[in-house]
Amino acid sequence: MKIKCEYERTLLKPTMSCFMGEDRNGKKTIVGNGV
């Protein structure tokens, strides 16, 4: 199962192994396998 987490661009370290991309709004979109 894939989950989508949105982090502010100030948060650079995700707690889980995810793919980090940038959203249209400028937020960091983290997509990866949930815990």
Question: How many domains, the chain?
Answer: 1
Q: What is the pLDDT of residue 20?
A: 55
Q: Are strands 28-33 and 18-22 parallel, antiparallel or unpaired?
A: antiparallel
Q: What is the pLDDT of residue 35?
A: 43
Q: What is the pLDDT of residue 1?
A: 43
| Cα gap 28→7, rounded to integer Å | 5
Q: What is the pLDDT of residue 7?
A: 53
Q: What is the pLDDT of residue 22?
A: 57
Strand positions, DSSP E, the chain: 2-7, 18-22, 28-33
| Token code pair at residue 5 | 């987490």
Residue recorded with tokens 């989950």: 3
Q: What is the pLDDT of residue 32?
A: 57
Q: What is the pLDDT of residue 28?
A: 61
Range of the domain at 11: 2-33
Residue among 35, 20, 17, 31 nearest 9 (CA):
20
| pLDDT beneath 70: ranges in the chain | 1-35
Residue recorded with tokens 């199962």: 1
